[in-house]
Amino acid sequence: MSSFLKALAPILVAIWSVVSAAAEPNALAQLGAGGAVIDDKSGAVEIRVALSQAVPWRVHLLNGPPRVALEFGELRWSEAPDVRSASVTDVMTERHDAGWSRMVALLQEPLDVETAEMTVAEGGSAQLVVTLVPVTAEDFREAAEENTPLFAAKGAGKGLPVITIDPGHGGRDPGAQADGLSEADLMLDVARRLKDDLIRTGRYDVVLTRDEDVFVPLEQRLTMARDAGAHLFLSLHADALAEDAGSASGVTLYTLSPDAEADAADTLTERHDGTNVLTGVDLTDAGDDVTLALLDLARQDSVPRSDALTKALIAAFQSSGLALNSRPHRQADLSVLKSAGTPSVLVELGFLSSVEDRERLNSEEWRASASLAIRDAILLWSDEDRLLGEGFRR
């Protein structure tokens, strides 16, 4: 812990107890300005829910008294929205599956979901708009009996968890280069393979931060992950040592170091620019105390989850006989890992400065095995992960 945080620890504890009294742990998004609104239009009902940031979402109909459930991943309700209308006679909020909470609207008459869409504003705030239209009781019952959500987060048509794969570098930034090989090209190839491998499992949606040889700024990569509602951020790189810097080889996995996070907290408090660290949470107007408490909240959740994935990755690389570095898990202050709240791991697939690694990275077969090892690790991790395992097990 930095001396900065040490000095702040007693204050943090005090703030923490205030914040945690009001907050469910590990829930970052909240109702946004404007809250929830129910609008009875002629022949249709519109429900709008404003959120502080985009989160995974899905919409279900529930039988019994006809109800519609708007479900959100990692959302904290500060209070139940106090909204009613002629067609929605009551609204309540509750925790649902692990990591999910929902707003359930009691319907005066059977309504089916016609459209549902989440839009994300420039600053990162989001709004879910659901349109409902009258249907017969029979049609309602049928729709409510569907097990899959009627609508879910964009790019996640079946409500599948979203994995963002980030092939490092690209365009005018080739990354490490040796022997005619470039890190940017090799990582794009692995990213495409991994995308296919993951999609084939039928369990994930995958977003690439680049799918061609183009330059994408770091900040934009994190924004893309946030906009996609990513459940996991995986950055792919290959390292290279300078000629006089000794030798190193094998796969190395990086997670954000606690010190780096403490330093980030430090900078964050000075600049009040939380969006860089806590992606999607606008802390511009938040006080230092709230900022730090939120950062702590995010760290509690995503660090152990990132570490668990790292363990699974090491095991998968080991059992696939892929060369691991002698110290395979390292921690570093890497900006690309600072999407707090989203488990983030940076995979260095080898060193282009090592002859053996260069041969491996240059082999299509090796890259295919590496992709499968990462896929296996993600499968294992999702089964055991608190949010993905219980929220998405089917």
**Residue 210 touching Zn ion (CB under 5 A):** no
- Contact with Zn ion (CB under 5 A) among 237, 299, 305, 358: 237
Residues sharing a CB contact under 8 Å with residue 38, sequence separation 6 or more, in sequence order: 45, 46, 47, 48, 83, 84, 85, 87, 88, 91, 105
CB of 216 to Zn ion, least distance (A): 13
Q: Which is nearer to Zn ion, 88 or 251 (CB)?
A: 251
CB of 369 to Zn ion, least distance (A): 21
Q: Residue with CB nearest Zn ion?
A: 237
**Residue 195 touching Zn ion (CB under 5 A):** no
CB of 392 to Zn ion, least distance (A): 31
**Residue 124 touching Zn ion (CB under 5 A):** no
**Residue 170 touching Zn ion (CB under 5 A):** no
Q: Which is nearer to Zn ion, 170 or 175 (CB)?
A: 175
Q: Which is nearer to Zn ion, 93 or 252 (CB)?
A: 252
CB of 167 to Zn ion, least distance (A): 9
Instruction: Name 88's bridge partners.
Output: 107
Q: Which is nearer to Zn ion, 167 or 274 (CB)?
A: 167
Least Cα distance to 99 among 394, 393, 390 occurs for 390
3-class secondary structure per residue, 218-259: HHHHHHHHHHCCCCEEEEEEEECCCCCCCCCCCEEEEEECHH
Q: Which is nearer to Zn ion, 15 or 349 (CB)?
A: 349
Stretch that binds Zn ion, among 229-237, 284-292, 327-335, 356-364 (CB under 5 A): 229-237
Helix (H, G, I), strand (E, B) or coil at 119: strand
**Residue 66 touching Zn ion (CB under 5 A):** no
Query: For the chain, where are the E strands, in sequence order?
Result: 29-41, 44-51, 57-62, 67-73, 75-76, 88-95, 100-107, 111-120, 126-134, 151-152, 162-167, 177-178, 181-182, 205-208, 232-239, 251-256, 324-332, 344-351
Distance CA 50, CA 55 (A): 11
Is the Cβ–Cβ distance between 258 and 334 less than 8 Å? no
- φ, ψ for residue 23, nearest 5 deg: -110, 145
Q: Which is nearer to Zn ion, 74 or 348 (CB)?
A: 348
Stretch that binds Zn ion, among 53-61, 118-126, 171-179, 208-216 (CB under 5 A): 171-179
Q: Which is nearer to Zn ion, 195 or 237 (CB)?
A: 237
Stretch that binds Zn ion, among 232-240, 285-293, 306-314, 386-394 (CB under 5 A): 232-240
CB of 254 to Zn ion, least distance (A): 11
Token look-up 């599956």 returns 97
CB of 361 to Zn ion, least distance (A): 12
**Residue 161 touching Zn ion (CB under 5 A):** no
Evaluated on CA atoms 316, 254, 345, 235, the torsion sign reads: negative
Least Cα distance to 150 among 59, 77, 89 occurs for 59
Angle, vertex CA 119, rays to CA 117 and CA 122, nearest 5: 175
Q: Which is nearer to Zn ion, 4 or 215 (CB)?
A: 215
Six-digit token string for 233: 């951020």
**Residue 110 touching Zn ion (CB under 5 A):** no
**Residue 350 touching Zn ion (CB under 5 A):** no
Residues at the interface with Zn ion (CB under 5 A)? 168, 175, 237
